[in-house]
Amino acid sequence: MSDKIIRGKCWVASGYVMAYDIVVQKFWTDPIDKALNSKFIMSGVSPEFDKENAFKDAGYTFIVAGHNFAGGGKSIEHVVTGLMGAGIKAVFADSFSRLQFRNATNYGLPFITVKDLVSICQTGDELEFNMETNTVKNLRTGETRETAPLAPFVLEVAEAGGLVEFVKQKIADGTAHMLR
C-alpha cells in the first residue's frame, strides 16, 4: 500500500462537534503534547469517551463529521494535537471551523472537506482514503465519495513535522519567497 493510501476505522459524529467538547475546559491550559492531550480527547462529545484513553483505545483512524467541525470560536491547538495523539490520520467533514482548520494544517493533520460522508458511514466502518485520486471509500459498502484535493504543501508540512519546521527549512534554504 502506498503512503498515499490510508485505511482504518472511522468514528462518525451524530451531531455538531464543538472544540469545547473535543477538549473540555479543564485541559485548555495543559502544555501542547500529543500523548498528554489525547488522554481525555473527545470526553465532552460522548460519555463513553470520558475515561482515560477511551477514545484512543477505540482505535479510530478517521473522524467523519458534518457542518463546522470543531467550531465554537476556540483556537486552542490541543484539539488537533489531541486527535493526532489518539491516532487520527484525517478528519472528513462538510465544513470546518476555520481556526481549527488552520491549526490542523499547521500541525499536519489533514482536515478534508467531503460533502455528506456522514450519510454513508457508520462508526466502526473501515474506510480507505486515497490522496492520489482524492477519494474516500467505505470498504463495508463499497460507496465512494470525492474529497476536495489536498494542497501539496499540506503533506509537506506533515512530513516536516509542522508549519514551523516547514517554513524554517524554506527560510534556511532560501526558498521561502517561492511559496505560492
Partner 1 sequence: MAGMTITEKIMAYNSGRDKVKPGELVWTDVFSVMTMDYLGKSTFKSLHELGKTEVFDRERVICVSDHLVPPPTPAFATMLNEWRQVVKEHNIKYFYDLGRQGIAHQIMVENGHVLPGKISVGTDSHANTYGAVGAVGNAVSVTDAAVAMAIGKCWFRVPESVKFHITGKWQPYVMAKDLSLHIMGMMHWNGHLIYKALEYAGPAIEALDIAGRMTLCNMTVDLGAKNGIIAPDQKTIDYLRPVQKGNWEMIASDPDAHYDAVYEVDVTNIGPTVALPDKLDNVVPVEKVVGRKFNKAFVGTCTNGRLEDIAVLSQILKGKQVHPDVNFILVPASQQVYLDALRAGYITDLVEAGVAVDTPSCASCAGIHTGVAGDGDIVLSAGNRNMKGRMGSKNAQIYLTSPAVVAASALSGVISDPRLL
Among 46, 53, 106, 135, binds partner 1 (CB under 8 A): 106
Q: Which three cell numbers stand for residue 24?
A: 473540555
What does the alpha-carbon distance between residue 126 and residue 141 come to, in Å, rounded to a whole number?
9
Residues 71, 97 contacting (CB under 8 angstroms): yes
Q: Does 99 bind partner 1 (CB under 8 A)?
A: yes
CA atoms within 13 A on the CB side of 129: 28
Contact set for partner 1, span 69-88 (CB under 8 A): 71, 73, 75, 77
- Which one among 46, 53, 95, 123 touches partner 1, defined by CB under 8 A? 95
Of 168, 19, 10, nearest to 100 (Cα)? Answer: 19
Instruction: Show the DSSP H helices in 119-175 as ranges.
Output: 152-160, 163-172
Cα radius of gyration (the chain): 16
Which of 82/87 has CB closer to partner 1?
A: 82
User: One symbol per residue from 49 to 68: x for binding partner 1 (CB under 8 A), - otherwise; what is it?
Assistant: ------------------xx
What does the binding site for partner 1 look like in residue numbers (CB under 8 A)? 16, 67-68, 71, 73, 75, 77, 95-99, 101-103, 105-106, 113, 148, 151, 153-154, 163-164, 167-168, 170-172, 176-177, 179-180
